[in-house]
Amino acid sequence: MATITAGDFRNGVTFEMDGQVMQVVEFQHVKPGKGAAFVRTKMKNVITGAVTETSFNPTAKFEAASVDRKNMEYSYSDGNLYYFMDPETFELEPIDESTLGDNFKFVTENMVCTVSSYKGKVFLVEPPTFVELTVTETDPGFAGNTATNATKPATLETGAEIKVPLFVNPGDKLRIDTRTGEYLERAK
């Protein structure tokens, strides 16, 4: 296993600490006038998502953690298991519902997601950043209604509900940002 020192920290670096996998979010090398230098580190636990701040001695050693990221196609769900297909082996991998984030509500069958795992344990499923989904239900739009920033609720084909401008109608295909759940534009 490769080791890494706190002095080598860069944004995005993953390392093992107390049996947990941490990812450097922000770091700063501090050399005070008196006393020893240290590395102020903001890090995220990649499994739980918790963010903590700690200072390390620059010579502190950690095991480098390699996180596997793989694009997999969402196939179907059965109860609380969601099945993803590996495009190389065509094998289906079941992933528990508890691993999926809130933004999974924008995913339809056959959509490719990025699945992150550590030592074979899946801890994150990221949908595509932008998706195109059809509106199944919303109040009819009104031509000429141009009230600035006025919105109404709309239900998408996945069952997710978002806020959309007043001119959107059922059957419209929309581009959605899955990170924020916001309507971007009508899809062409």
* pLDDT category of residue 144 using cuts at 50, 70 and 90: low
For the record, the structure tokens of 26 come out as 């922000």
Task: Check whether 145 has a pLDDT greater than 60.
Answer: no
One CATH from 3.30.499.10, 2.40.10.10, 2.30.30.30, 3.40.50.1220 for 3-64: 2.30.30.30
**Cα 185 from Cα 188, distance rounded (Å):** 9
Task: Check whether 143 has a pLDDT greater than 70.
Answer: no
**Can you say whether the dihedral through the CA atoms of 34, 36, 41, 45 is positive or negative?**
negative
Provide the Cα torsion 116, 158, 106, 89; round to 10°. Answer: 30
How many CB atoms are located within 10 Å of the residue 54 CB?
A: 14
Percentage above 90 pLDDT, the chain: 63
Task: Check whether 146 has a pLDDT greater than 80.
Answer: no
Considering the domain delimited by 68-126, tell me its CATH architecture: Beta Barrel (2.40)
